[in-house]
Amino acid sequence: MININTVKDMVKTCMQCGTCTGSCPNAPAMDATPRKLWQMVLSGKTDQIYKTKTFAMCSWCYTCTLRCPRGLPLTRAMTLLKTLAIQSDIPGFRSSARFYKSFVESIRRHGRVRETEFMTLYFLAMKNPLLPVRFSPLGMKLLQKNKLDLRLPSRPGLGNLEAFFLKVREIEERS
């Protein structure tokens, strides 16, 4: 099972140099810098970690991973914190969690993702009537260019990935 110690193991040789913070394009929008976040991980301050927005702000640019003088997989560590936040249903991460889960549900159903379907799933999961309004300018732009395909994905009728997903779950649960 993945837990906070998995992340701790990934960053255990962190020497707190701050190269990650200096490299992070999203650091200005974070309440705690990446360097401080790794310190929290190392000292086991789990509650503090989930109170920050830091891991949620990571946009997977991999610059910290590239530059870390210790060669630590920092982007992956950020993603694992997202995984743990989803598993623990951390309130501050619920909106992102629903976005990712809606996307994955669309893959499970059809093997491929249609933007229209997964966004509908996301809106339904969020139960916020104002949320679709935020996305409507983009939706209108895409609609005008005939780029929103309202049909389901084109993958020829081989069914969903149900068995495949169940197998992944089974292995995750036993390892």
| Chain positions contacting another protein, by CB under 8 A | 2, 25-26, 28-29, 56-57, 59-63, 65-66, 75, 79-80, 82-83, 86, 95-97, 99-101, 103-104, 107, 111-115, 134-135, 137-138, 141-142, 145-149, 153-156, 158, 161, 163-165, 167-169, 171-172, 175
In terms of CB distance, is 43 or 59 closer to another protein? 59
- Scanning 43-73, the segments in alpha helix (DSSP H) are 46-51, 63-67
Contacts of 21 (CB under 8 A, 6+ apart): 27, 33, 34, 35, 36
Smallest distance from the beta carbon of 168 to another protein, in angstroms? 5
Residue 89, judged by CB atoms within 10 A of its CB (0-12, 13-18, 19+), counts as exposed
Residue 149, token pair as written in the block: 């395909």
| Residue whose pair of structure tokens reads 């780029």 in the numeric block | 147
**C-beta closer to another protein: residue 18 or 111:** 111
CB nearer another protein, residue 60 or residue 129: 60
Shortest Cβ distance from residue 33 to another protein (Å)?
14
Please, which residue, 43 or 61, has the CB nearer to another protein?
61
Give the nearer residue to another protein in terms of CB position, either 43 or 106. 106
CB of 171 to another protein, least distance (A): 5
Q: How far is the CB of 44 from another protein (least distance, A)?
A: 22
Find the largest Cα–Cα distance for the chain: 53
Smallest distance, another protein to C-beta of residue 146, A: 8
The pair of structure tokens assigned to 25 is: 């394009």
Pick from 42, 71, 68, 74: nearest CA to 55: 74
Give the count of beta carbons closer than 10 Å to the beta carbon of residue 175: 7
